[in-house]
Amino acid sequence: MKYLILGLGKSGMAAYHLLKNEGHEVAGYDDDPSLQEGLTGSSVTPPTLDPFECIVVSPGFSPSHPFYQSALLKGKKVISEVELALTRLNQPSLAITGTNGKTTVTLLVTHILNHAGLQAKSLGNIGTPVASYIAQPQEILVIELSSFQLERLEGRFFDSGVILNITPDHLDRYPTLESYAETKCRLQQLIKPQGSLWVHEQILREFPFLLSAKVQSYGNSFELILPTRYKGHDRENIIAAWLLCRAFGVSMERFLAALEGFCFPPHRMERIASINEVVYINDSKSTNIDATIKGVETLEGRVILIVGGVHKGSSYRPWRISFAHKVIQILAIGSASSLIEEELSDLYPIKCYPSLQEAFLQAKQIASPGDTVLFSPGCSSFDQFKDYVQRGNLFKKYVLEEGKNEP
């Protein structure tokens, strides 16, 4: 069978090598010619579709791309990298999606299951393509799915799943919030007949027309006794993880014991340092409007907020109410800074800066003892950084270097 891979990032390359190892004829295409170097059958210009029986699409390859659209118009079989891989696997699988918290819940579920003596492996949007996985029949697969990965995923692969939340995001790819939500809710068609899908009560309340009667909801009122330090988003994420783990026989006692040993991933409300009684927090993983709101909500006292990056299509106006009486200064960076200033400057003092370092230095000058400097961009990172990890690490570097210079 002849395959064409569209998009040669991490997922596309995993699919390419999987098919090559199976002995198939495979070609690859990417708009970035450098990604095609050394690949047999790759093409700098879009090749003719006629020889290919199946098109495998990477999540980052835009559905509006002319070549993608041409494949659909020609009636070619088009599948995702995740589907390509899952059709070759036959073991228990869990699916986790939502606007925010996916990676945390994926890692937490994997940690809990392993702690309970059940072998588990995190895959998918978390950074390890499903197509790169070498099957271990005894392992439970815990798969993080982005909306991009859900777009073309077909088949009832998952024993259980959860949709954590749906708030505006990726509106540069989806024409409306409803179309984005509809993509997230496609997960209900991917659960096995005897499986279960949990959705947060916010989703059931705001998008009931997208959900079947079979879904089950959960929320903050769910009966799970947690230490008081877990609040808001953290508490909701832990409840979601518990719902998935208990289906595998994990007791509440064992779950809570394992939770105590879990290290939450970096770049998510990560306290970096306290310098001259000013706390610095790295929330670089905040790539949408709601994530920044949640970050600010968890803090006490005055907040100096650094935001900005690549605009993703959502208005920043929800910040107008959410930041009231807490955010005393907004420092904006990146290509979205002018729009942020336009939408918020009548309510909040806002200054725009060409770099994160300059914004940080200004935040340091403004901050008084008892204040918090929060880096929670609310935007994607690709105008000035490779990814959210690089920008988060740079923020941490600036903070820690400043700490060394202070008396």
So what's the pLDDT on residue 140? Answer: 98
255-267 average pLDDT score: 95
Q: Is 382's pLDDT higher than 90? A: yes
So what's the pLDDT on residue 42? Answer: 59
Q: Is 260's pLDDT higher than 80? A: yes
Q: Is 174's pLDDT higher than 90? A: yes
Residues 36 and 93 in one domain: no
Structural domain tally of the chain? 3
- If one compares 213 and 400, the residue with the highest pLDDT of the two is 400
Residues 190 and 331 in one domain: no
Residue 378 in contact with residue 288, Cβ under 8 Å?
yes
Kindly state whether residue 264 falls inside one of the protein's structural domains: no
Residues 309 and 191 in one domain: no
pLDDT over 90 percentage in the chain? 86
Q: CATH number, domain at 6?
A: 3.40.50.720
12-26 average pLDDT score: 94
Q: Is 44's pLDDT higher than 60? A: no
Range(s) of the domain holding residue 54: 2-83
Residues 23 and 147 in one domain: no
157-180 average pLDDT score: 96
Q: CATH number, domain at 165?
A: 3.40.1190.10
Give the Cβ contact number of residue 84 at 10 Å: 22
What's the angle, vertex CA 87, arms to CA 83 and CA 89, rounded to 5? 115
So what's the pLDDT on residue 46? Answer: 58
Q: Is 225's pLDDT higher than 90? A: no
| pLDDT band, residue 403 (cuts 50/70/90) | confident
So what's the pLDDT on residue 47? Answer: 64
Residues 135 and 42 in one domain: no
So what's the pLDDT on residue 329? Answer: 98
So what's the pLDDT on residue 319? Answer: 97
Q: What phi and psi values does residue 87 have, to the nearest 5 degrees? A: -65, -15
So what's the pLDDT on residue 38? Answer: 72
Kindly state whether residue 208 falls inside one of the protein's structural domains: yes
Q: Is 36's pLDDT higher than 90? A: no
Q: CATH number, domain at 305?
A: 3.90.190.20
276-285 average pLDDT score: 97
- If one compares 122 and 229, the residue with the highest pLDDT of the two is 122
Kindly state whether residue 265 falls inside one of the protein's structural domains: no
Residue 258 in contact with residue 116, Cβ under 8 Å?
yes
How far separated are the first and last CA of the chain, in Å rounded? Answer: 67
Report the chain's mean pLDDT, rounded to a whole number.
94
So what's the pLDDT on residue 41? Answer: 62
Residues 143 and 218 in one domain: yes
Task: For residue 354, count CB atoms less than 10 angstroms from its CB and return exposed for 0-12, middle for 13-18, buried for 19 or more.
Answer: exposed
